[in-house]
Amino acid sequence: MCGIAGRVNYLSRRPVDAAVVRRMCDLIAHRGPDGWDVRVDGWVGLGHRRLSIIDLSAAGTQPMSTADGRVWITFNGEIYNFLELRRQLEQEGHRFRSATDTEVILAAYRQYGLECLSRLRGMFAFAIWDQTRERLFLARDRVGKKPLQYLLDRDGIAFASEPKAFLADPAWVPEPDPQGIADYIALQYVPAPESAFKGVRKLPPGHFLLVENGQIRIERYWRLKYSDKVRMTEADAAAELRRRLSDAVRMRLISDVPLGAFLSGGIDSGAVVALMAEHASGPVKTFSIGFEQKEYDELPAARLVARKYSTDHHEFVVRPDALSLLPSLVWHYNEPYADSSAIPTFVLSELTRRYVTVALNGDGGDENFAGYDRYYANVLGQHFDRIPRPVRRLMANAAAMAPSNGNRRGLVSRGRRFLQAGAEGREERYIRWVSHFPHGLREEICTPDFLAQVPRDPDRVLLDAYRSSDAADIVDATLDVDVTTYLAGDLLVKVDIATMAHGLEGRSPLLDHEVMEFAARLPSDLKLRRNVKKYILRTAVASLLPAEILDRPKMGFGVPIDAWFRCELKEFVQDIVSSAKFRQRGIMRPAVVEQLFKDHVSGEASWHYQLWNVVMLEMWFRAFIDTRPTSKADVASSLGGLVAA
């Protein structure tokens, strides 16, 4: 697990400045604290920051080349089937100088060309420079566990694991991209291929980018298929799923450094820990995080699994002083990012890194097996659609005017949101359910001048994802949308940034592409059985987990910012929304934002998600647009005393 960067001046053929590539690597040094190297040859430059996981020797140093020096690679990730692939390549006549998966990718590219991607099982983002063909080959793993950004200019292309690396080039002036900002306001993250920075693009998951003969080509090489369903009994499906999960966990235990697992109180991480215990030779190291607010605290549930498997268990508690993390969050997340669970994830990663270098997690269970309320809500919505739309609109209006108890997780709040979305079509209902600022509220809070600069309605991201899916029913279609948007753009970004900020590698067995492909082919009623979410996953792992874990309602990985904003952090938010800088942005109407804040503090409504969205956007502007940071200390300084350094 590492950080990669580089530049290929294929248009101008101007020599690459090695010092610039070195500074690009320095700006993402946290991703690879164990070493670095840069390789520059004329108009091509590749850089690398190394986090040593497999083959800790100097033989694993990158950028790495083939024996003849004609093909070079800089690679971030882990290929879990590299030993099997290596044996196949050796039978084809390839010889290896190291024990790394990096060299296996090089040989696979030599043997199979672009088709090598179909043979890689793992997480990856890499750049291969093929000197003979004068070809740059950028690729990203199937679901987007590892990031890859690129920047096109008059010389050619620059690329990096994080966009802050582009600050190394004095010719690049960071500017906000209106489309990226609008998408963020709606969704709480900036979805690929957009970026918050003008001119910067994200290579989408499951895609590769090829620069050859002066042309750029971007292609999708993988996506889930939901239409070709398996034919097997429920018992056989559960047994096959259990086997695939066990295999995925086993493969992710390969490491030359200490390894453990994140453990929440849910089914997904609990199942991962249980399967780790089956394969491990000693006690599994587990790490959990909780809160003083009981309704958000999963530590008691996590202890049940830890005790069952006698793990070496560690617990941490997040308190409101986590706000002091904000300079770190703004610096490391690069773009505005409003998923508040980044706070506990960041803290958990920092503390876990004190004990291990690799941590498995349960990410992907909800998006594979229908674990969110919105899947069941969409099924109910199909029955709700039988009510005439005018009546549904009256119900939506009545729900909007009803008083809120301020608890978004509560039954009353969920009922209000369901009724408000009831007048919409099925895709629009989902959009309203997941958007921070859905259509209508977005137009109310954003200025007309800003909206006039946005070429595409942010809702198109989700609508297009629905319309490109091959799924036959609303459950599978919504799972597909979540995998391609929310999972890739929010959850995987959160974990990658939080872990790599501390030199910790995160591994996600439930996001193994063979597990995901099997899950996609299962009938949707095995994922959502009436109102039982993740039905087949529960069945597959039932014997592994305490009954209390299987039966408890889903909590998610939220933080109590609703209460924090009314108490400990009230003055902080007030300072942001009333500041001259915020008022002068021209993006949001200050009066509307201040009213949201007043309504939240008074308890008349619950706007903490929206306010966090506003706060993180303003802090990003101050850190990356108002100034040109070169370190976390620069970000703390640019925030002008709003938070502790």
Q: Give catalytic residues, as residue numbers.
A: 2
DSSP assigned state of 404: P
DSSP assigned state of 68: T
Residue 287's contacts (CB-CB under 8 Å, 6 or more residues apart) are 260, 261, 262, 263, 313, 314, 315, 316, 348, 351, 352, 355, 359
CA torsion through residues 225, 231, 237, 240, sign: negative
Summary count for the chain: helices (H), strands (E): 28, 17
Order of strands, edge to edge, in the sheet holding 71-79? 64-65, 71-79, 122-130, 135-140, 207-212, 215-220
CB atoms within 10 A of CB 236: 11
In angstroms and rounded to an integer, the radius of gyration of the C-alpha atoms of the chain is 24
217's enclosing H/E stretch is: strand 215-220
Phi/psi at 79 (5° precision): -105, 110
* Six-digit token string for 182: 């609008």
* Six-digit token string for 135: 């070809």
CB atoms within 10 A of CB 281: 5
Q: Cis bond leading into 458, ω under 30°? A: no
Torsion, Cα 235 241 242 248, to 10 degrees, reads 170
